[in-house]
Structure 1
Amino acid sequence: MSTVIMSAPSDEQAAMQHYLVCGTEDCQKNGQFYCNDCHRPLCERCRDEHVKNPDTKFHEIVHYRLRKHQLPVEKCKLHPTRNVDIFCKECKVAICSKCSTMKEHHRHEFDDLEEIYIEKYALQQDEFSKIQKYFLPTTQGLKLDIEADVTKIQKLMESIRTSMKAEAESLKNLVDEVSSDSIEDTHIMEKTLLKMLKSEETTYDDYIAYLGKMSDEFQQHLSLENQKILFSEILKIKTIPETTKPVAPVFTAGQFSKHDVAQLLGRVIVSNAEPKKRKIQPIVAVTTYMKSTVKQLGQSKEKSDVKQTPSLSSSATNVREYSVLGVDSVWHVSVDKSGRLWVSDWRGNLVQTDLQGNQLQKIQTSGREEGYHRATQDRDLIYTDKHKREIYRITLDKKITDFIKTGDWEPLSLQSSRINGDILVGMIKDKEAKVTRYNKVGKDIQNIQRDNQGQGLYSDPHHITENINGDICTSDYKKRAVLVVNKSGQHRFSYRGQGSGFYPWGICTDVLGHILVYDSYSNTVHLLDQDGGFLSVILSPQEGITSPRGVCVDDENNLYVGQRDTNTVTVYKYLQ
Structure 2
Amino acid sequence: MDPRTSAQDIMRCDLCETAVVQMHCDTCLVNLCKACVGEHMISDQSKKHEIVPFKLRKSTPLYPICKLHHNQQCTMYCNQCDITVCTKCIASDQHLSHKFSEILQIVERKKHKIIEEQTELKETIFPTFQDIASDIQNRMSQLEKEYGDLSTAITKHGEDWHREIDKLVKKRTAEVDEMKNTQIQTLQKHLDEINKTISDIKDEINSVDMALDTNDLSMLFSVTSDVNIYRTLPQKLAPSLPKFIAEKIQGEKLDKLFGTLISGSLTSDKHGYSMKTTQKSPEAGCSPPVKHLLDKPETVTTIDTGHRRLSNVVCLSDEEIWTIGDDSTMELFSINQGSQLKSIKTKSGNIPIDIAVTKSGDLVYTDYNYRTVNIVKSEKVEEVIRLQNWKPRNVCSTSSGDLLITLESDDEKQSKVVRYSGFTEKHIIQFDDQGRPLYSAGRYSRCITENRNLDICVSDNGTKAVVVVNQAGKLRFRYTGHTPSPKNQPFNPRGITTDSQSHILTADVKNHCVHMLDKDGQFLRYIDCGQSGPWGLCIDTNDYLFVVQLINIQVKKVKYLC
TM over 0.5: no
Which category describes the TM-score, using the shorter chain as reference length? 0.3 to 0.5
Normalised TM-score (structure 1): 0.44
TM-score (norm 2): 0.45
Higher relative contact order (CA 8 A, sep 6+): 1
